[in-house]
Chain A
Amino acid sequence: MGQQHDSPVAKWLCGLLMVAILTSGWSPGWAQQGDLAGNLDGDLDGESGGQWVRDVQIGGYLDLELFINSNRFDFRNHRLVPMLDAVVTEHVHFSCEIEFEYGGPQVATGDGEVKVEYAHVDVDLGGWQLRTGAILVPLGSTNLHHDSPIRPLTQRPLVARTVVPTTLTSAGVGALLEGAEGDWLLEIYTLNGFNGGDAIDGYNIDSTSGIRAARPGLKKNGDRSPSLCGRFLWRPELGTEVGLSAWNGSWDAQGELDLTIAVIDVTTEVTAGIDTVGPIEVQLEVARVAIELDAPARSAGVPAELAASSIQLSRRFYPAILERWFGAESSSGLTLRFEGEDLGGHRKRRSTIGFNIRPSDETIFKFDLERVKVEDQADPDATIICSMATYF
């Protein structure tokens, strides 16, 4: 069933991209002062005005979670994510986030890790952008917009855990092209592929964690063709986004078996007919993974298909009492989310209702009640999840 990828399109695409960069007119002439439109891509010296200094910003976000049910009472310092952002030259921009999960690997009783969430360099090529480095894979909206402070619920959706294992990062190179009015965005990358293993060393894809354990590495791709990933985002009107994302590449060590991911995500605001309630943000994300199998993989229980979907409804409120305490930018929110996941084993459904308070858009306090139902298993307790997340 497997196909040999000795000279695939992806390898050539990668080479062509580099050739395109070298022949696209990149010259020292770019160092000229940009015009007003050019300034939208950043200036060299921010507020310093005229001084040639390296402009580096430090920021990030932090979250702290509390899980309570009949079996657990856990505080979790889940993520500490410092961020670095630098304007290298007028047309070269660097950005990265490094995640300390559960305090990092040195914490005695934990499974923490430190890893690069993304670290890429953007080169403005006048109308399009080259991006290279450790790239945040553009599969669905959750992976791209995963920061805890902007998400209304503590837990990321199931679709972003096992099917598109957020934070999904891979090393590679690609390009971004955006419509002049910002009404569409196209991203295309060639990247290191998934590491699903093989019959000898064991498989990293199963019906419990999906492809999470097989996430691409930043070190090597082996003797395999690079994978291709792309996303087309369409913004038909303000507040509405429709994203179509796809990934294709080999997943096994030999580079013979294909893995294809397709994700559709829609974000919109529903206002018609609910004037008394106000605008409700609806987020829909549906993902499917098709895994090509050979006989050993099939017999090892590697699933041929993974699927997950999520729909989330959110409404913001602006109580006067919050405004008195925190000012005009405060708000609260109510969120409902319904999800399903099928990893080839027991199907899982999860529903969550959450309430949150935001002193400002940078900081959020979340209070969630989550119920998970797994096919053929007794219903566990509902879990109360409280958390705080903030940018800094």
Chain B
Amino acid sequence: MTLTILLSLLLAAPTAEAQMFGLTPTSIEQAISTAWPQAARYESVVLEMKGDLRQRIAQRCGSAVPSAPVMLVRVSDAKQQWIGDAVLLDEIGKYRPITFLVAIHPEKRVHDLQVLVYREHIGKQIASPRFTRQFRNRAAQPPFKLHREIRNLSGATLSARASVRAVRRALATVAEVCDGKSPIRWKPWPSPVSLTVEGEVEADRSVSVVRVRPAMGTVLRVEVYGPEAEQVISEVFDEVRRLEQLLSRWNPHSDVSRVEQAPAGHPVKVSTDTIECVSAALQIARESGGAFDPTLVADGYSQIDVDRATGTITRQRDDLILDLGGIGKGYALDRAAEILRELGHSRALLDFGGQLLALDPPPGESSWLVGIHDPRVKGNGANSLLRSIPLVGSSLATSATYEKGDHIIDPHQGQAAVVALSTTVLIPDATRADAFSTALAVLGPDHADPLLDRVSGAGALILVAGEKSARGYGKLKP
């Protein structure tokens, strides 16, 4: 079924998407802005109505679905919060297609209905706000019908009927393809922001530039405001790639691999960054009493020696490994932040596989508003958030079993540690945030306060299985 949907999601160029309806991208943006004045970012997908998808949408809305394609625009505000979906579609009035824009809340309720193009010579009054207002807050259930919940306009019955059909079909389409089960390949639209994996960037300099690239086994997303942001982001990616070559266990030539390969007691010359990262890891291991341990062996951290003067690392036991997976991304984020600041691009947000590092806020804003996902809720709606947090000059890292399964190992037990459903840590530097979220996931909520007291400006949000709401600590205390 998923494959069918994927096959049905055929992407078209932005200009072609708009022209399907005889509209310019600008006019569609204007319409979306009317519905959501705070709209700032758009991603779109064109759905070819055929096959299984068409049939299932028809079943949901209880009437036949025309084969004409439908355009979906996912709308977010300047803080990247998803505020809704706009559905552009045609419905036949008396003889001619009427182009509608149906704005739908994340909760699958109608936010607004607009008639973008009316082509008949009578019945134009369905475009009036007092007719379209009737559809606000309508959901697929309970069903709404013309002449019952929706008042008709005399002389415009077929156009009014088309409005009802359009809204029903838009709700059904969003429900069918945006329920979180069906992966959608959203495409930046029209092109203010480009989200591509290893892709080139087309950016409007009046807004931010976003680039996404695979790194360290996950995806690094960098959003930067300012001129020449693309070049700056490119330098950030270069730096992260360099660090990955030093810190990855999967690269046999990395510093970490060379330390592992060397006999016990033999110092291995490594780079400054490796010294810094391993030193930080060992420091946090000590602070957490070994709950976080880069050796993945109980108290193994105490048998790794770092000599800053000679720039060497020595294992004292042959069975020790050196796994910086719990801190390497955080360290790379801090290094990326240094580069951004050095180059004068401090209005930036970095997202490294879910760990966020916010520098200065976007122009005109006081912070980056980010959300912490509630692992008990499927999908990405507004009600799927544990909490929204304004983030400036801080990092937010989450360790949760819902994303990667039981991947957190308790070094003392040697098995998966399942204490909390989700552990989120807020700390000014990303290196500590990354490691502390792992440590706290192992230690559990009872150790949160003592651990966080060690770091100025720290906080944590821990969701324990069976509890209705998450517990807040430190700066995230309710």
B96 touching A181, Cβ below 8 Å:
no
Residues of A contacting B130 with CB < 8 Å?
181-183, 237-238
The residues in A between 29 and 47 inclusive whose CB is less than 8 angstroms from any CB of B are: 33, 35-36, 39-43, 45-47
Query: What is the CA–CA distance of A226 and B19 in the complex, to the nearest angstrom?
Result: 46
B154 touching A182, Cβ below 8 Å:
no
At the interface with chain B, which of A66-74, A207-215, A322-330, A342-350?
A322-330
Q: Let me know if B475 is at the binding interface, CB within 8 A.
A: no
B95 touching A85, Cβ below 8 Å:
yes
Q: Let me know if B444 is at the binding interface, CB within 8 A.
A: no
Residues of A contacting B31 with CB < 8 Å?
36
B27 touching A36, Cβ below 8 Å:
yes
Nearest Cβ distance between residue A102 and chain B, in whole angstroms? 24
Residues of B contacting A93 with CB < 8 Å?
121
Residues of A contacting B380 with CB < 8 Å?
none
Nearest Cβ distance between residue A337 and chain B, in whole angstroms? 16
The residues in A between 364 and 384 inclusive whose CB is less than 8 angstroms from any CB of B are: none
Q: Let me know if A391 is at the binding interface, CB within 8 A.
A: yes
B161 touching A361, Cβ below 8 Å:
yes
Q: How many A-B residue pairs have CB under 8 A?
A: 129
A235 touching B125, Cβ below 8 Å:
yes
Residues of B contacting A362 with CB < 8 Å?
158
A47 touching B90, Cβ below 8 Å:
yes
The residues in B between 27 and 71 inclusive whose CB is less than 8 angstroms from any CB of A are: 27, 30-31, 61-64, 68
Indicate whether A269 sits within 8 Å of B151 (C-beta atoms), given known contacts A87-B119, A182-B130, A331-B145: yes
A182 touching B152, Cβ below 8 Å:
no
Indicate whether A150 sits within 8 Å of B157 (C-beta atoms), given known contacts A59-B94, A391-B94: yes
Q: Let me know if B378 is at the binding interface, CB within 8 A.
A: no
Nearest Cβ distance between residue A95 and chain B, in whole angstroms? 5
Q: Let me know if A170 is at the binding interface, CB within 8 A.
A: no
Closest to B134 in A: A238
A43 touching B128, Cβ below 8 Å:
no
A150, A182, A235 — which one has the most chain B CB atoms within 10 A of its CB?
Answer: A182
B63 touching A328, Cβ below 8 Å:
yes
Closest to B161 in A: A361
Q: Which of B23, B129, B161 contacts A39 (CB 8 A)?
A: B23
Query: What is the CA–CA distance of A323 and B143 in the complex, to the nearest angstrom?
Result: 12
Query: What is the CA–CA distance of A79 and B151 in the complex, to the nearest angstrom?
Result: 29
B157 touching A182, Cβ below 8 Å:
no
B155 touching A144, Cβ below 8 Å:
yes
Residues of B contacting A267 with CB < 8 Å?
154
Closest to A269 in B: B151
Residues of A contacting B164 with CB < 8 Å?
329
Q: Return the CB mask of B143-160 against A: 1 if under 8 Å, else 0.
A: 101111001111101100
At the interface with chain A, which of B110-118, B211-219, B251-259?
B110-118
B147 touching A316, Cβ below 8 Å:
yes
Nearest Cβ distance between residue A145 and chain B, in whole angstroms? 5
Q: Let me know if A106 is at the binding interface, CB within 8 A.
A: no
A182 touching B158, Cβ below 8 Å:
no
Indicate whether A47 sits within 8 Å of B117 (C-beta atoms), given known contacts A59-B95, A141-B155, A238-B134: no
Q: List 19 A-B contacts (CB under 8 A).
A: A42-B117, A46-B96, A47-B97, A49-B22, A59-B94, A59-B95, A85-B95, A87-B119, A141-B155, A181-B130, A182-B130, A279-B148, A316-B147, A328-B143, A329-B62, A329-B63, A329-B161, A329-B165, A331-B145
Q: Please list the 10 inter-chain residue pairs (A to B) with the smallest Cβ-Cβ separation, ordered nearest first.
A: A328-B62, A182-B125, A182-B128, A49-B19, A239-B151, A59-B95, A42-B119, A361-B161, A43-B22, A36-B27
